A = this chain, B = another copy of it.
Amino acid sequence: MRQVGSVLWPKLRVLQVYGANTGVGKTIFSSILCRAFQKHFPKVHYLKPVSTGPLEEADDSSGSGGETVVVFTQTLTRYDQTHDMNIKAKCLYQFSDPVSPHIAARSSKESVTDDSIRAVLHDELSSYATSEDGIAIVETAGGVMSPAPSGISQADLYRPFRLPVLLVGDHQLGGISTTISAWESLHVRGYDVQSVALFSESRYDNHSYLKDYFAERDVLAFSVPPPLERHSNDAEDARAMQEYYEEAASSSSVAAFSSQLLQNHDKRMADLQSMSTEAVEAIWHPFMQHSERSKDTITAIDSAYGDYFATHTTQQALATSQNPTTSLIKPAFDASASWWTQGLGHGNPRLALTAAHAAGRYGHVMFASAVHEPALRLAQTLLTNMGNPRLAKVFYTDNGSAGMEVAVKMGIRAAAARNGWSADDEIVILGLKGSYHGDTMGTMDCSEPSIYNKKEPWYTGRGHWLDFPQVKMRKGRWIVESLDELKTSLEGEKTFDSLDDIFDFQKRTDDYAAYKQHCDATLAELVEKGTKFGALVMEPILLGAGGMMFADPLFQRCLVDCVRHHSSLATETQPQHGGVSLDWTGMPVICDEIFTGLYRLGRFSASSFLGVDADIVANAKLLTGGVLPLCTTTASQAVFDAFVSEDKTDALLHGHSYTAHPVGCSVANESLRSMMKMEREGVWDGFKGHWSSSGESLEASSPDHQAGDVWSMWSEAFVKAVSHRSQVDSVFALGSVLAITLKDPDGKSYASKAAYEMRDKLLAGAPGEEWVIHSRVLGNVWYAMAAMTTTRDTIESLEEKIFAALE
């Protein structure tokens, strides 16, 4: 699949000309600028990617505002016979119907997709990038939000390139409003609008107002007089027009703009190339041993769009310095989904507008004893859609770590209250080995001692952690690796025909019995020793940061059953609600779905894979679709009630200033709405077809499980093929996640560098490759995940690159 993105060539300046409206003079300004730049550059390119109207009669009354190459060329040739013409004009798509491109495209035989326009434009611009200095002016059609052939707006069509923009403002009555709004539409789409240009017009004086307005926003606005009215095509008229263009092109305003444009180009290059060095100087990076840091190990991210970063690296700088036709910026697939947060594509204009709407409606409003619509609706959406009748109350924090601190406080305080434990009692959590719940002290204490925490003076592991069987594909077969402790039916490893079968608990009664015996015995022993368990804390299905491990869902299900029904843990419970007890027994069950929830594994709720109704669930990351931090901790009524008394100090005295910030809640509402809509509309059905269970009946073989529910965006065939590669130990895929465990010669896991080579190879890419893969590793595990909007096409291209890298 072709993937083109942001470009920056050292010798080729590119300027995109947008219009605040149709008929504001984009072509005239383009023409003036071409003339002005003739003085600077041996070659000036004028490019109109899409034009409508018949070539021979294009004029201002055509559907596209008559801004066609013909008009442009006429302008140049008719009024400029004296000049040495070093201006090349070109149109990429020409529709004869003089209407808006989206209408013209309908009646045209040519099929023009956004991708094809982008690819052709990219190639055309690439062909201009030489070792000679040059400039290209790319003129859009109509206004900023005017539809392109596919119906998408101009601003959205060209957004992947994120070219520097000149916005031609509207000099007419009402033009102040249309100019500012057009600028805002470009601004919220992440464009760098360097300048606003418009005709000076004494009656409305828009240009005076707009110069001041934009100066305050660090945007240079300038004006030139409007062109003369044409009376005829005679020689005198032509001379007058030539004079007009000459004067405009050599005016001080245009000179100031030109000089700024050239400076900005140089500054952008310089900034991009110095960013890594400056970062080394000013930044303390997360999770990094800085002895390994240098400017060469830092990726500068210029912007991002859809699945891709626009990246600049030292390697890229070198490639460009050796060959100026190489862009300094390269698209890189964001394979860590920006640390597992990305869900709906980078630079998503709907999420950007949603964020701005909330910021415009509220800013932040404090949440103590208060409520606002975005937070209320989000809480209700979560409670309704988790499919867990226990859950009743939503608590807000700012990130997963804080939200898990709250979850643990909730759990252990509820357990302490019911068991009559005091704050002096040593209360611990029950967890799984390799769990990871965050970096603040309380959540660090929920993980067993490891290299993440062993040098932290205040770390105190407060728990008991069980080993668990893992699901893997190895040499083409799905297996569940057993535990050393399990000397029963599951000894060694067990093979399954499909991933779906592993989730079909009704067919696995023997395994369940073995697990139950093991968990019961372990619990009994611990409780007998006097261990006070405040909560079971667990990441359902996937243990993420601990090393991307796929837990046997049956084991996790069984563990919850044991915890809830183990005789030694029995405590008095609350009365039943409507026949079904929604109260916790044994200990509160906390599901950390920060990584796994909200469709990362293909479902709204990750614990639904287990058929488990948790007492407390934490969500974050995908919650806001990959825009900004927010976390929810959702609890049962019984847990909530444990904090209610007449004494203020019994309350959960926890809260952050930005608790339930409306911007985050609004973006979360929009993200969830989008993903739920995608699920409803079957957007992911194409992926499901690539999994072996898809051919089967969709009837449930057990109440919690439907065949076809377990699927991944990565095809099963690909996973199988990968599992046969010689350097691969095992692999799995679920939802958008793919994890490949590489064989490590030294037997190390987190400390291993086996996956680094793969990561570096994918980021470097093959010579001339159009896009590369930016990924993160966890020890010897190389993993990748997609956004929920990533297409099958893109996944296929990724599969090819990944497969090739495993050679």
- Whether the pair A184, B353 counts as a contact (CB closer than 8 A) is yes
- Whether the pair A174, B653 counts as a contact (CB closer than 8 A) is no
Decide: A441 near B440, CB < 8 A? Known: A185-B180, A346-B362, A351-B363: yes
- Whether the pair A178, B21 counts as a contact (CB closer than 8 A) is yes
Decide: A355 near B663, CB < 8 A? Known: A22-B173, A301-B365, A347-B361: yes
- Whether the pair A21, B290 counts as a contact (CB closer than 8 A) is no
Decide: A650 near B362, CB < 8 A? Known: A291-B645, A367-B286, A656-B629: no
Among A298, A399, A458, A621, the most chain B Cβ lie within 10 Å of the Cβ of: A458
- Whether the pair A663, B288 counts as a contact (CB closer than 8 A) is no
- Whether the pair A284, B635 counts as a contact (CB closer than 8 A) is yes
* Chain A 635-669 interface mask (CB, 8 Å, partner B; 1/0): 10000100111111111111111110101100000
List 22 A–B pairs whose Cβ atoms lie within 8 Å, in order of A's numbering: A21-B21, A142-B177, A145-B180, A188-B360, A283-B395, A284-B393, A288-B651, A290-B640, A293-B369, A303-B362, A334-B366, A339-B658, A341-B366, A345-B363, A363-B625, A366-B776, A399-B656, A427-B458, A440-B442, A440-B443, A442-B442, A452-B653
Contacts of A643 in B (CB 8 A): 289-290
Contacts of A348 in B (CB 8 A): 359, 363
Decide: A102 near B209, CB < 8 A? Known: A363-B304, A369-B299: yes
A537 vs B79: C-alpha distance when bound (angstroms): 74
Decide: A283 near B371, CB < 8 A? Known: A376-B275, A399-B656, A658-B629: yes
A627 at the interface (CB under 8 A from B): yes
Task: Tell me which of B359, B413, B620, B644 contacts A456 (CB under 8 A).
Answer: B413
* Chain A 55-79 interface mask (CB, 8 Å, partner B; 1/0): 0000000010100000000000000
A396 at the interface (CB under 8 A from B): yes
Contacts of A143 in B (CB 8 A): 174, 176-178, 181
Task: Tell me which of B185, B282, B628 contacts A376 (CB under 8 A).
Answer: B282
A585 at the interface (CB under 8 A from B): no
CB A5 to nearest CB in B, in angstroms, measures: 13
A654 nearest in chain B by CB position: B439
- A428-466 residues at the B interface, CB under 8 angstroms: 438-443, 445, 451-460, 462
Decide: A349 near B339, CB < 8 A? Known: A301-B365, A376-B283: no
A459 nearest in chain B by CB position: B423
With A145-B177, A309-B365, A398-B398 known, 19 other A-B pairs at CB within 8 A are A144-B177, A146-B176, A146-B177, A187-B360, A278-B380, A282-B383, A286-B655, A286-B659, A287-B651, A290-B640, A347-B360, A352-B355, A352-B360, A364-B628, A398-B399, A398-B402, A402-B402, A412-B458, A628-B663
Name the interface size band of chain A.
35 or more
- Whether the pair A290, B644 counts as a contact (CB closer than 8 A) is yes
Contacts of A398 in B (CB 8 A): 398-399, 402, 629
Give this chain's copy count. 2
* Chain A 14-53 interface mask (CB, 8 Å, partner B; 1/0): 0000011111000000000000000000000000000000
CB A675 to nearest CB in B, in angstroms, measures: 15
Contacts of A732 in B (CB 8 A): none
CB A625 to nearest CB in B, in angstroms, measures: 8
Decide: A372 near B301, CB < 8 A? Known: A22-B177, A184-B185, A286-B659: yes
A416 vs B628: C-alpha distance when bound (angstroms): 35
- A399-415 residues at the B interface, CB under 8 angstroms: 399-402, 405, 408-409, 412-413
* Chain A 252-290 interface mask (CB, 8 Å, partner B; 1/0): 000000000000000000010001101100111111111
Contacts of A654 in B (CB 8 A): 286-287, 439
A358 nearest in chain B by CB position: B190
- A277-325 residues at the B interface, CB under 8 angstroms: 278-279, 282-293, 297-304, 309
Contacts of A189 in B (CB 8 A): 360
CB A736 to nearest CB in B, in angstroms, measures: 15
A597 at the interface (CB under 8 A from B): no
A425 vs B459: C-alpha distance when bound (angstroms): 11
A241 at the interface (CB under 8 A from B): no
A781 at the interface (CB under 8 A from B): no
Decide: A441 near B289, CB < 8 A? Known: A180-B185, A423-B455: no
- A128-154 residues at the B interface, CB under 8 angstroms: 142-147, 151, 153-154
Task: Tell me which of B153, B205, B380 contacts A282 (CB under 8 A).
Answer: B380
A601 vs B336: C-alpha distance when bound (angstroms): 41
Contacts of A21 in B (CB 8 A): 21, 174, 177-178
Task: Tell me which of B65, B368, B442 contacts A285 (CB under 8 A).
Answer: B368
A340 vs B655: C-alpha distance when bound (angstroms): 13
A540 at the interface (CB under 8 A from B): no
Contacts of A304 in B (CB 8 A): 361-363, 365
- Whether the pair A204, B298 counts as a contact (CB closer than 8 A) is no
